[in-house]
C-alpha cells in the first residue's frame, strides 16, 4: 500500500478511462447515464471515506459541499460566464474553504457530537440553498447549461462520459498519491490512536482539518461532475437520503480502501436499477431492504464486502505478496480519546 504505485492500480485507472471513451460508442444512453452517476458517486464516496474510513472522523457535512460543487459550478457558468475548467475547480476550492471554516471548531468535538454538528451544518446548508432563491433558484431548481470543456460540448450522457471518467481518474490518481504521502500516513495514525499519533509528533488537529478540507474538495469535484451530465438541480438532491446512500456505499463496500469504496459504489448504486426488474409487489419493500443491508453490513462485515473478499484472497495458500502495512485494522474507528 505504501511505496510505489502498484501496477494493478494504474491498470484500474487506465481501464476506467478507456471505458469512458469506448462505452459511448456501443451502449444505450441509459447505461451511459448510470455510468456517469456511478463515477460521480465514486468521487463523492472516496471523499467521504477519506474522513470516515481513513481518518476515523464521523462527519456528515459532506452533502453540503456536494451542493456547493453543483451550484457553484452551475452558477459560475450561468451568472459569471466562467467555463467549466475554471468554474469547477473554483467551486471545489470554495467547498474546501468552507470545509476549512467548519473544520476549525468541529475538530474539537467528540465523535457523536461531531456527527451531530456536521449533520446540522448539512441541514442548514440545504435550507440555505432552498431559501436564497434569488441566487440558487430555490425550490424551483436551477437549469444547468451544458458545460463547455475546452471547446468540447458535454450535456448529453455520451458526450459527458469521457470527461467524467477523466475527472474520476484524476481523482483516483490523486487519492493513490495521497495514500502514499506523509499526510496519508498521518490520517491512518490518528485513526488508530490520537494519543499515540500526538506522541509521535503528528499535529493531530492540523491533520484532522486537512482531512476535512480534502474531503470537502472531493465533494465539490463530484458536484462539478454532476453538472456535466444533468440538466437540472434542486435542493432536494442535498438531503439526508443522499447522505445515507453514500454512507451505505462506503460502509458496505469497504471503508479505508479505494477498491472497497468503488465496490460499494457499484453495488449500492446499481441496486435500485437492478430492483426495477423485481416483481411489483416487492417494490414497496425497498426501504426496508436498504435499512437491513446497512445493519447487516455493519454487523457482519466491519471492513465491508471488500474486507471479506480480501480475507478470502489472503486465506489462499498462494496469496500474492501484500505490502506490509495493509489495511488489517482498517475497520471504522472512532476517536477513542478526547479531546
Partner 1 sequence: MRSLKRLHHVLIGAALLALAVAPARAADPGLTDNEITIGLFGPLSGPLIGYGLDPLNAAKMLYEEANRQGGIQGRKIKLVVEDDKCTPNDLVAVVKKLTTVDKVFLLHGGSCTAAVAAAQDFVNREKIPMVMLNAAGDNAVFPPTPYVFGSFQATQRVYGSALASFAAQQLKAKRAAIIVHDDDYGNANLKTAKAVLERAGVQVVAEERIPPNISDITAPMLKVRAAKPDVILSGAYPAPAVLIAQKYAEYGMTDIPLLQATQGIPSPSTFAKNVGNPDALKNFYHTWSFTDIGDAAIHDKYIKLYKSYYPDREPTAFFVTGLPSAFMVIAALEKAGKELTRESFVKALEQTRVKPDVMAGELAFGPNRRDALRDVIVVRFDGVKQTVMPGVYTWNGTDGM
Partner 2 sequence: MSSLLLMQAVASGIVTGCVYALVALSLVIIYKSTDVVNFAGGELVMLGAYVGLLALTFFTLPYVTMIGLSVVIVFAVGALFERVALNTITGRRYAAHADLVPLVVATVGLGYLLKGIVRVVPYTEEVRRLPPLIAGPPLFFGDVILQRQDLAIVAVTIVVMLALTLFFTFTRAGKALRATSQNPRAAALIGIPVRRMRMAAWGLSSAIAALAGILLAPKLLMTPDMGTVVMLAFAAAIIGGFTSLPGCVIGGIVLGVVQNLVGVLLSPQAIAVTPFFVIMVVLLLRPQGLLGEALAPKKV
Using CB under 8 A as the binding rule, whether residue 113 contacts partner 2 is answered as yes
Q: How far apart are alpha carbons 321 and 234 in whole angstroms?
A: 48
Cell 470537502 maps to which residue? 216
Q: Residue 304 half-sphere exposure, CB side, CA atoms within 13 Å?
A: 30
Smallest gap, in angstroms, from Cβ of residue 189 to partner 2? 15
Q: How far apart are alpha carbons 302 and 260 in whole angstroms?
A: 12
Q: Return the number of the residue (93 or 244) whose C-beta is nearest partner 2.
A: 244
- Binding segment for partner 2 (CB under 8 A), chosen from 52-60, 76-84, 144-152, 181-189, is 52-60
Q: Return the number of the residue (37 or 251) whose C-beta is nearest partner 1.
A: 37
- What are the φ/ψ torsions at residue 316 (nearest 5 degrees)? -70, 140
| Single residue of 76, 212, 290, 306 touching partner 2 by CB under 8 A | 290
Classify residue 338 as left (phi > 0), alpha (psi -120 to 50) or beta. beta
For β-strands 152-153 and 232-233, DSSP reports them as unpaired
Cα–Cα distances in angstroms (integers) from residue 111 to residues 115, 152, 191, 336, in the given order = 6, 45, 12, 9
Q: How many residues belong to the site for partner 2 (CB under 8 A)?
A: 49
Using CB under 8 A as the binding rule, whether residue 124 contacts partner 2 is answered as yes
Q: Which one of partner 1, partner 2, none is in contact with 289 (Cβ closer than 5 to 8 A by kind)?
A: partner 2
Q: How far apart are alpha carbons 56 and 58 in whole angstroms?
A: 6
Q: Which one of partner 1, partner 2, none is in contact with 232 (Cβ closer than 5 to 8 A by kind)?
A: partner 1
How many other C-beta atoms are found inside a 10 Å radius of the C-beta of residue 276? 7
Residues interacting with partner 1, by CB under 8 A? 28-31, 33-34, 37, 130-131, 138-141, 143, 155-157, 230-232, 234, 236-237, 272-273, 276, 280, 283-284, 286-287
Using CB under 8 A as the binding rule, whether residue 179 contacts partner 2 is answered as no
Interface residue list for partner 2 (CB under 8 A) = 52, 56, 58, 105, 108-113, 115-117, 119-121, 123-124, 127-128, 131, 244, 247, 251, 284-295, 298-300, 302, 329, 331-334, 336-339
Amino acid at each position: 500500500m505504501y511505496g510505489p504505485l502498484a501496477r494493478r492500480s494504474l491498470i484500474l485507472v487506465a481501464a476506467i478511462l478507456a471505458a469512458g471513451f469506448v462505452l459511448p460508442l456501443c451502449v444505450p444512453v441509459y447505461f451511459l447515464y448510470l455510468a456517469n452517476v456511478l463515477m460521480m458517486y465514486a468521487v463523492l464516496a472516496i471523499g467521504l471515506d477519506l474522513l470516515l474510513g481513513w481518518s476515523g472522523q464521523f462527519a456528515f457535512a459532506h452533502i453540503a459541499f456536494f451542493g456547493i460543487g453543483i451550484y457553484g459550478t452551475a452558477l459560475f457558468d450561468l451568472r459569471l460566464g466562467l467555463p467549466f475548467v475554471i468554474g469547477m475547480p473554483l467551486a471545489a476550492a470554495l467547498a474546501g474553504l468552507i470545509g476549512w471554516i467548519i473544520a476549525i471548531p468541529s475538530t474539537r468535538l467528540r465523535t457523536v457530537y461531531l456527527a451531530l454538528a456536521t449533520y446540522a451544518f448539512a441541514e442548514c446548508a440545504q435550507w440555505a440553498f432552498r431559501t436564497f432563491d434569488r441566487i440558487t433558484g430555490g425550490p424551483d431548481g436551477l437549469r444547468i447549461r451544458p458545460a463547455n470543456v475546452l471547446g468540447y460540448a458535454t450535456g448529453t450522457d455520451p458526450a459527458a462520459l469521457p470527461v467524467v471518467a477523466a475527472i474520476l481518474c484524476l481523482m483516483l490518481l490523486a487519492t493513490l498519491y495521497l495514500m502514499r504521502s506523509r499526510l496519508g500516513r498521518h490520517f491512518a495514525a490518528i485513526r488508530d490512536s490520537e494519543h499515540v499519533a500526538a506522541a509521535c509528533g503528528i499535529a493531530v488537529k492540523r491533520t484532522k482539518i486537512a482531512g476535512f478540507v480534502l474531503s470537502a474538495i472531493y465533494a465539490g469535484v463530484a458536484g462539478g461532475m454532476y453538472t456535466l451530465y444533468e440538466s437540472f438541480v434542486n435542493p432536494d438532491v442535498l438531503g439526508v437520503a443522499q447522505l445515507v446512500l453514500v454512507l451505505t456505499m462506503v460502509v458496505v463496500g469497504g471503508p479505508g480502501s479505494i477498491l472497497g469504496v468503488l465496490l460499494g459504489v457499484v453495488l449500492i448504486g446499481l441496486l435500485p436499477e437492478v430492483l426495477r426488474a423485481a416483481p411489483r409487489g416487492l417494490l414497496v419493500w425497498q426501504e426496508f431492504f436498504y435499512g437491513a443491508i446497512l445493519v447487516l453490513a455493519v454487523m457482519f462485515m466491519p471492513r465491508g464486502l471488500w474486507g471479506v473478499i480480501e480475507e478470502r484472497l489472503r486465506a489462499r495458500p498462494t496469496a500474492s505478496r501484500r505490502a506490509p502495512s495493509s489495511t488489517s485494522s482498517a475497520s471504522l474507528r472512532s476517536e477513542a480519546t478526547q479531546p
